[in-house]
Structure 1
Amino acid sequence: MGYVRRVLDDELDELFSAVPAIAIDGPKAVGKTTTAEQHVVGTLRLDSAANRESLAADPELLLRRARPLLIDEWQKVPAVWDVVRRAVDEDRAPAQFLLAGSASPLPGATAHSGAGRIGRLRMRPMTLSERGVADPAISLAELLTGRRPPLAGETGLRLADYVEEILASGFPGLRSSRGRALRFELDSYLENAVDRDVPEQGLAIRRPESMLAWLRAYSAASATTARYSEILDAATPGHGDKPARSTSEAFREVLTRLWLLDPVAAWTPSGSLFTRLGQTPKHHLADPALAARLLGLSVDALLNGEGVPVGPQAGSLLGHLFESLVTLCVRVPAQAAEASVGHLRTRNGDHEIDLVVIRGDDRVVAIEVKLAATVSDQDTRHLHWLADRLGGRLLDAVVITTGPRAYRRPDGIGVVPLGTLAP
């Protein structure tokens, strides 16, 4: 099979022709190298010991290579960041360097952040549209215009198909795997992260199973605002002598540096329209397939409602993992549209908006996620509450469902099956 374009390719087409250097961040196996190679003439791989040794001795050797140049796994020789930064200080010509990294460098490893010299783009696993299983008809970019266009589109995807996609993974290299082979590869991915990648980040893990237990509890808290103390309790049930809170914080920090955790921050709108908003992020792993695998969930188990979530939000684990899949499919086109994604929840939990897509002018598209094919007035009450408070700052409001058809309700709220969502 040939290369399958990603949404990030469109961003690189637009940006790399105008700026000298871009760093692509994301977890291992997300496709950074393959995508970046479509935009360069040469690649310098720092997962090669020979390349690392020569560059560690003289990082400026990379400047002898033809450009545009991809520096892959650059964080393994952090000094190359400062070499690139100085090079683009001296020459602002566009399309010189792409840097791909599957981990943030340790604090202090680079002399300068690169702000103003090296742009940064996040790469996430494949959306349903990128996987080729969707029927994209509803553009998030169009929703962000605020024109509230008529919505029309149909998809053949049904609940069982979405469950299959939760488990199938958005990592490109795993898309052809099925059954035991896929489960084996996901297990190996997680074990390698804990056994090899975490120690490379400077955190010694005496008992790898303790981090895997924490990850398992974090997975059960997917799409919730569970406190980290709740996650730690769920990771150590029945243990009177629990690990120190600092241990949990160390796990969270290193897994975030590896881009394996991808929480959605709480949105705090400007002005004084709201009081007593929660500040806790919504928890998500980089790929919902990792969460499902950590929890040992199969298609039948999810469809039968097995598993108990961790955290304050009600619902089934399937509902939470479906929201993780929706979040992935929203974040990728939101970034391409120069928007960010947050969530909103009042401290007492009486109002909650699952996803808030925020334009640069702080105007938003509000999204509720519903694991059902139909939408009732009860399902839209939080969107109406938000509309009353935001007024013209609310560009659009939609409910993303598992249904077959996109449309607008008489109250103006859009109903969008996930399978119809396009970049």
Structure 2
Amino acid sequence: MTATHLVPRRAQKLVSAALEDTRVVLISGARQAGKSTLVRVLAGDRSVERRDLDREQDRAAAIADPTGFVSFGDLMMIDEIQRVPELLLAIKATVDEDPRPGRFLLTGSSRLFGMRGAPDALPGRMETVELWPFSQGEIDGAPDGFIDAVFAQGPDLRHESAISRADYAARIVRGGLPEAVARNDPRRRGRFLDSYVQALIDRDVQELARIEQAPALRTLVRLLAARSATLIAAGALESDLQLSRPTIARYLRLLEEVFLVKRIPGWSRNLGSRATHAPKLVFVDSGIAAQQLAIDAHQLLRPGQPFGQLLEGFVVSELARQATWSDQLVDLYHYRDQQKVEVDVILENRQRQVVAIEVKAASTVRSDDFAGLRKLAERLGDDLLAGIVLYTGTTTLPFGDRMRALPVSALWEI
């Protein structure tokens, strides 16, 4: 991909549909994920008033006269709404007076409910569409249809892949931020990712809360990268950071508010043994996690490197992206109980049907790799549609009733 190549986004269809029947639409997601580019594409030839609250003059005008700032008869697009949260009340008053759909298209790099001083965030008047960094399917021009396919076909799903372990490693360290994907030189990509994290802490986190321990926050980000796809508890980080447990918990929330990390909750359905509710943590972009560990694609393949952890985080973030546009409405969890039965990913739909997924960095699969999936199958019965091991091999392999091994690339190539 080149810097000038425009990658079609799955979210475009979702936003266009929302503008047809909803007064206010918010595109939320990480900085540099492509929100402004998507807004320009959506504008097209329409009569649109465009404002950018990253620009000092626009921000000053919004603060001085919120009501006048949002006064426009047609669609108004406002980038980085979190910079002036007071505008939300003015928008609310405007759309209550004129309730036509498609009045405002907002973008935000922080979750509205986390913004310091944010007023009533337009309940019943606004639809939010999450925009993640590029998915692998968006980069490759591939279908990105795994979630819908696996719930429709269950263990009958089949996929053959030509992708190697080395290619998976390269995809992990590249990540999906458009600016990083456009850089073919790994050193230039690494410099961008380092600057990105630094700017996020110095700017966006400071917008949410005054942070006196910015160096400790940067250390926390590196520690989280080393613990990617593991259970995260604030108490386990106290000695490393020399910060109190409440402060660490607050910092974790802030990093999630600015879309740097995502916490995956524990899953339970009264299965006869107590399940942990502690969340797992993954980075929204796998390239950031790899860069924080100073690991390139070649190093990642060496023995002793955290290929398995980073691959699991990569898989979880791809599934989280896909869940924002799949027809099948699913929630994303992990599972672990007191008997140490673990499953990396639980996908559960609104009918309470479950697809359970293990992630393995190996290019071969053994029967033991299905141990947690089989335990879960015993407890769930027919509610488990399929137990899937995603691995770095190339073919689909059966491992008993409803159990299948599939190449990781099934996530985006199906």
Asked if Structure 1 and Structure 2 have the same fold, meaning a TM-score greater than 0.5 normalized by the shorter chain, the answer is: yes
Structure 1 88/406 Cα, relative in aligned 2: closer, same or farther at 3 Å? farther
- The within-5 A match list for 1:10-409 is 10-40=13-43, 41=46, 42=48, 43-65=50-72, 67-105=74-112, 106=114, 109-132=117-140, 136=143, 139-145=146-152, 147-148=153-154, 150-177=156-183, 178-206=185-213, 208-233=214-239, 235-236=240-241, 242-269=242-269, 272-307=270-305, 317-337=306-326, 338-348=329-339, 350-406=340-396, 408-409=398-399
Give the alignment's TM-score, normalised by structure 1: 0.88
Any idea what SS the aligned residue of 2:263 has?
Answer: coil
Q: In structure 1, how many angstroms separate the alpha carbons of the residues matched to 2:287 and 2:384?
A: 32
Structure 1 218/66 Cα, relative in aligned 2: closer, same or farther at 3 Å? same
Q: Alpha-carbon deviations, 1:86-119, whole Å to 9, x = none?
A: 3333444332222111113555623313221112
Moved more, 169-178 or 100-109: 100-109
Q: Which residue of 2 aligns with 1:311?
A: none
Any idea what SS the aligned residue of 1:153 has?
Answer: coil
Deviation at residue 71 of structure 1 after TM alignment: 1.2
Q: In structure 2, how many angstroms separate the alpha carbons of the residues matched to 1:245 and 1:149?
A: 43
Q: Alpha-carbon deviations, 1:157-207, whole Å to 9, x = none?
A: 11111111111121012212122111111111111122232222232335x
Q: In structure 2, how many angstroms separate the alpha carbons of the residues matched to 1:328 and 1:169?
A: 10
Q: In structure 2, how many angstroms separate the alpha carbons of the residues matched to 1:87 and 1:392?
A: 50
Give the alignment's TM-score, normalised by structure 2: 0.90
Q: In structure 2, how many angstroms separate the alpha carbons of the residues matched to 1:197 and 1:372?
A: 38
Q: Alpha-carbon deviations, 1:216-254, whole Å to 9, x = none?
A: 111111000142222343x44xxxxx2222331232122
Could you tell me the percent identity over the aligned residues?
Answer: 27
Deviation at residue 419 of structure 1 after TM alignment: 1.5
Asked if the contact 1:136/1:419 (under 8 Å) is kept, the reply is no
Any idea what SS the aligned residue of 2:20 has?
Answer: coil
Deviation at residue 136 of structure 1 after TM alignment: 4.8
Gaps of 5+ in 2: none
Structure 1 274/44 Cα, relative in aligned 2: closer, same or farther at 3 Å? farther
Matching residue's letter, 1:388: E
Gaps of 5+ in 1: 237-241, 308-316
Q: Alpha-carbon deviations, 1:279-317, whole Å to 9, x = none?
A: 11001122111111111112232111345xxxxxxxxx1
Q: In structure 1, how many angstroms separate the alpha carbons of the residues matched to 2:352 and 2:39?
A: 31
RMSD over aligned Cα, in angstroms? Answer: 2.3
Please list every run of at least 4 consecutive aligned residues from structure 1 whose deviation after the TM superposition is greater than 6 angstroms.
none
Any idea what SS the aligned residue of 1:343 has?
Answer: strand
Q: Alpha-carbon deviations, 1:241-282, whole Å to 9, x = none?
A: x2222331232122122111211111233xx33431001100
Q: Which residue of 1 aligns with 2:7?
A: 4
**Aligned length, in residue pairs:** 402
Asked if the contact 2:332/2:345 (under 8 Å) is kept, the reply is yes
Structure 1 293/278 Cα, relative in aligned 2: closer, same or farther at 3 Å? same
Structure 1 216/15 Cα, relative in aligned 2: closer, same or farther at 3 Å? same
